[in-house]
Amino acid sequence: MDGIIPVYKERGMTSHDVVFKLRKILHTKKIGHSGTLDPNVDGVLPVAVGHATKAVEYLVNSGKIYRGAITLGFATTTEDLDGEVIASAPVVTPFDDATIDATLAKLTGEITQIPPMFSAVKVNGRKLYEYARAGETVERPERHVTIGAFTQIKASEYDAQKQQQTIYFEVHASKGTYVRTLAVDFGKLLDLPATMTDLTRIKSGGFDLAQAVKLSEIAEKMEAGTVESIMFPIDRALGDIPAIDMTGDHWAKMKNGAWFGRGELTTQAPVVRMRYQDDTKALYHWDDEKYLYRPLKIFNNQD
C-alpha cells in the first residue's frame, strides 16, 4: 500500500493524532504527514503511506492556502483562541475596506517572522512551547517566508459592544509560515492587539478541500477493500520534477544501483523522476564531479 491520502483533519485533534489513527486503520506504521496543523485548525493534511513517505519533504515544500479570521481588539499568549488574553484595546472606529486591503498588502511578498512562543520550533534542543509552558523566555530565530497573496474574502464585521473588528481573509503562504503571527503583525501595523480567531487550510500539497477525506471515510473504505480509490500516486508530490520513462534496460540497471550519463537519459535537468511502467521508482540528480546522474532518493526498486 503506497500513495498519498489527502486527509481532512477535523478540529480537536493534532496532526500526530491523525497519523496514530491512520496507522491503526491502514495496519501499517509507514505513515507520515506533510505540515502540522494546530488542534484548533481544520483542513487539508496530505498523508503519505508506504514508500510515499520518502516524498513527504516534497509535499511539505509546496505552498499552502488558508482561509480564516483576524479579530482586532485583543491579543493572547498563543496568538489564537487557545491562549489567555494578554492585551486589549478598543477599536473605536472600524477600519474601512481600503485601509484593510492596504494593510494586508504590506504583509505580502518576502517577509520576516518571529515564531510564536507556543510553537514547535526548536531553540537549543528544546521546543519553544516547552519554554513557554515553563514560564521561560528565549530569543527566537527569525524566519523568512513568502506570502503570495493576503486578501479579504468578505466584508469585515464590527462588534460595537466589544469594540472589536473581525477581518475575513485568504492567504497563500510558503512553507514555514505562521498564520497566527500574520494576524498579530496585521494588528501591529494598525497599532492594535490582534488574534487569529479562525483558520482552515483549504489547499496543501496540490490537494484541496474537495479531495480531502475524513478518517471515518478512510476506515469505511479500508473495511470495504477500496481504500486505494482515495489514494493518489507518489507523482502527485513530485509533479514539478521532469520525468524519465525508463526502458526495461534502464530499469534493470537502476535496480542494481547504476548511475546514468546524460546521453542515456537525454535530459539536462538537475533532478529527474525515474519512472517505469507508470510508476515513479526513484529520483536521480546530476553530479558535476562524476558527470553522471546518481540516485537521490529510491522509492521502490522492486518489480
Alpha carbon 170 to its chain centroid, in Å, reads 15
State how far the Cα of 106 lies from the Cα of 43, in Å rounded to an integer. Answer: 26
Beta carbons of 200 and 41 less than 8 angstroms apart: yes
Query: Cα–Cα distance between 141 and 153 in angstroms, integer?
Result: 32
Task: Please confirm, yes or no, whether 38 is among the known catalytic residues.
Answer: yes
Return d(Cα 260, Cα 285) in angstroms, integer.
10
User: Which residue in 2, 38, 42, 185 is the catalytic one?
Assistant: 38
Q: DSSP alpha helices (H): ranges in 139-247?
A: 179-189, 215-224, 235-238
Q: Which residues pair with 294 in a beta bridge?
A: 285
Question: How many Cβ atoms from other residues are within 10 Å of residue 87's Cβ?
Answer: 13
Which single residue is written with the C-alpha cell 509552558?
133
φ/ψ of residue 260, rounded to 5: -130, 145
Spatial neighbors of 240 by CB under 8 A, at least 6 apart, are none
CA distance 73 to 70: 10
Query: Which positions are catalytic?
Result: 38
